[in-house]
Every structure is written in structure tokens, then in C-alpha cells.
Amino acid sequence: MSCKTENSAASSSSTSSSTSSGYGTSSVPLISDSSRTSEIADKMLNMRARGSANGKHKPPKQLQSQQQPPQQQQEVPQLEEQQQQQAQLQQQPQPQPPPVTPQKEAMSADERKATKKSLVIVVAIFVASLMTMFYVYAIFPELNASEKQHLKIPRDIQDAKMLAKVLDRYKDMYYFEVMFGVVVAYVFLQTFAIPGSLFLSILLGFLYKFPIALFLICFCSALGATLCYTLSNLVGRRLIRHFWPKKTSEWSRHVEEYRDSLFNYMLFLRMTPILPNWFINLASPVIGVPLHIFALGTFCGVAPPSVIAIQAGKTLQKMSSSSEAFSWTSMGVLTLCACASLLPGLLKNKFKKKKKKAA
């Protein structure tokens, strides 16, 4: 009995000692590392969830792409294909629109009034010119009946022959009256673009010496062309632009392109029959040719053809037609003069292009 009691007491004492030793170090229960890491992970997940709900936290791009719904993932390659197609279309050469051709513009009421006023002025100038012609006829010396019928502007070589005989008879006694009459008739034809100035050039070559005849032809041509230029600038500008808008714009571009060489091109046009003189006189103010270049180019440009006309006038009575005035030799010389007049302008344009390329 005593042994059992001792054993029980020992066991109870051991248990009490063990319990006292276990709770003696710390009264707080111990927590393992794995439990702590799990708690920290839970807290971080909760914080991320709260941040994403508030919009502050943004997941990485890979996660965003994975989290995109399948519809958005399908739309991305479609957008890329559309962008590629647009880039290809931009790289392809686009067809240029056809050039816009200027069309006839309807004249306004003010333009119609201005045109009517200009026409009235032209008619008044024409009437004044006719009165001047009658005045020249009035101051001319007395002629018999057979001579009066030949005192008119020649229309063919036969009229020029008969008029030359009449004027040659009175030239010595009435030198300046005869010269003034021929000059007025010449300027009248040039001013109103009336054909017949070629026969007057031949007539001047028949009546006067070479230097005087050459100066008179150049002077009358320049003065008459300048008056025609002025009338065209007054009236013809609106009319030509109204009826020939395409040609007017094309010629204006050429004038702007060769503005530095307009004098040379004016010489070329006066020496060659490419364009008639009356057309050059009417079109020059409309397309922007300056008056001083026009007048000087006309005075110098008509000189080579006038030399041929003066030489033909020396043999006027032997001629049967006006075509005999221009032989193959004279045409060849005239062509050489015309080509020589273009050389300075061509060289100037060539040097100008070289300077632009160098710059």
C-alpha cells in the first residue's frame, strides 16, 4: 500500500513539474512560421483586392492580356489588319484629278457696261482715223480723173503698181505730203488689223531710198501695233478671255515662264510667219506682254522682213504677184535671222536652270 502511494505521488509530482515547466517560460501560445507566411499572403491578397476595386492597383501587362475577355482578344488582330490595309492604301499612288480647264465666265452687269463703253471709244477712234484719212486726201495735190481712181489702199500687186506711178509723179514736188499720206495709211491698217501693209512696204521701197524706207516701215509698224495693243487692252482683254479662256491661260503661262527672254521671242515672232501680226497685236496685252518690250520688239523685229519688201519694191513694175517678193534665198536668210534671235533667250534659260540645280 505504501508503495502504490509513493508511485502515485511521484507521478503527480512529475506531471505538476512538467506543467509548471511548460507554462513557466511564456504564458502566450507559440505560432509556427508557415502559419505566419500564410497570414501575410492573405493580407497581401486582401490589399490587392481592395486596390483593384478602388482602381489604384494595376496588374502587370501579361496578366491584363490574360484577363481580357475573348471578344477583345479577337478585336486586336482585326485592328492590326485594318491598320496594315490603310498603310498599304497610303503607299499606293493615288490617281491625280484631271486638270481643270478654264471655262467661259458669264460677264457681270458691270463688265457689260465697261465693255460697251470701251466699244464706243473704239468706234470713236475709228471714226477719228477715217477723218484723218479724208484730211490727207483733201490736202493732197490736184489729180486728174484717171489718177484719182488709183488713189486708194492697194489690195493686190496691180493696185500697188498703179498707186506707185501716181505717187512717184508727185513725190518730188510734194515730198512730205506724199510721205505723210503713206504713213497715215500704214498706221491706220496696223491699228485696226486691216490687211494690206505688205503692199505699202513694197510701195515705200519703190518711192524712197533704202534707209528712209526701212525707218518708215519700222516706225509705222511699231506705232500702229502699239495703238492696236492699246485698243486690245481697252476692249479685247474681256472679249478674248471670254471666248478663248483655255488659250489665254496657256499663253499666259508661257509668258511667265520666258519673261526674262520676251524681247527675243517677240523678235522671233515678228520675223517668222508662225502667227499673223494682227493676232500678236491683239493677244499680247491679254497674256501679259509689257508695252515697252512689245513696241521695241516690233520695231526691231520687222526690220529683216522689211529689207526683203524694200528690195522687192525696187523691181515693183516687173512683179506680177506679191509672192515674187520672197524667194528661197530671202526666206533662208530670214530663217537664219529668226533662229539667231532665239539664241540669247535659250542660253539665258539654260544658265538659269543650271543655277537652280546648283543651288
pLDDT in tens, 108-137: 677 777 778 878 888 888 898 889 888 888
Residue 167 vs residue 19, higher pLDDT: 167
Q: Is the pLDDT of residue 248 over 90?
A: no
Residue 95 vs residue 224, higher pLDDT: 224
Q: What is the mean pLDDT of residues 153-181?
A: 90
Q: What is the mean pLDDT of residues 294-320?
A: 91
Residue 58 vs residue 339, higher pLDDT: 339
pLDDT of the residue at 36: 64
Determine whether 252 is exposed, middle or buried from the number of CB atoms within 10 Å of its CB (0-12, 13-18, 19+): middle
Please tell me the distance from the alpha carbon of residue 281 to that of residue 300, in angstroms, as a whole number: 15
pLDDT of the residue at 103: 52
Q: Is the pLDDT of residue 100 over 70?
A: no
Confidence of residue 26 (pLDDT cuts 50, 70, 90): very low
Confidence of residue 251 (pLDDT cuts 50, 70, 90): confident
C-alpha cell read off for 13: 509530482
Taking the model in full, what pTM does it have?
0.66
Please tell me the distance from the alpha carbon of residue 115 to that of residue 46, in angstroms, as a whole number: 92
pLDDT of the residue at 74: 53
Q: Which residues of 171-190 are buried (b: 16+ CB within 10 A; e: fewer)?
A: beebeeebbebbbbbbbbbb
pLDDT of the residue at 48: 63
Q: What is the mean pLDDT of the chain?
A: 77
pLDDT of the residue at 348: 79
Residue 143 vs residue 199, higher pLDDT: 199
C-alpha cell read off for 324: 515674187
Q: Which residues of 126-138 are buried (b: 16+ CB within 10 A; e: fewer)?
A: eeebeeeeeebee
pLDDT tens sequence across 289-300: 999 999 999 999
Contacts of 194 (CB under 8 A, 6+ apart): 188
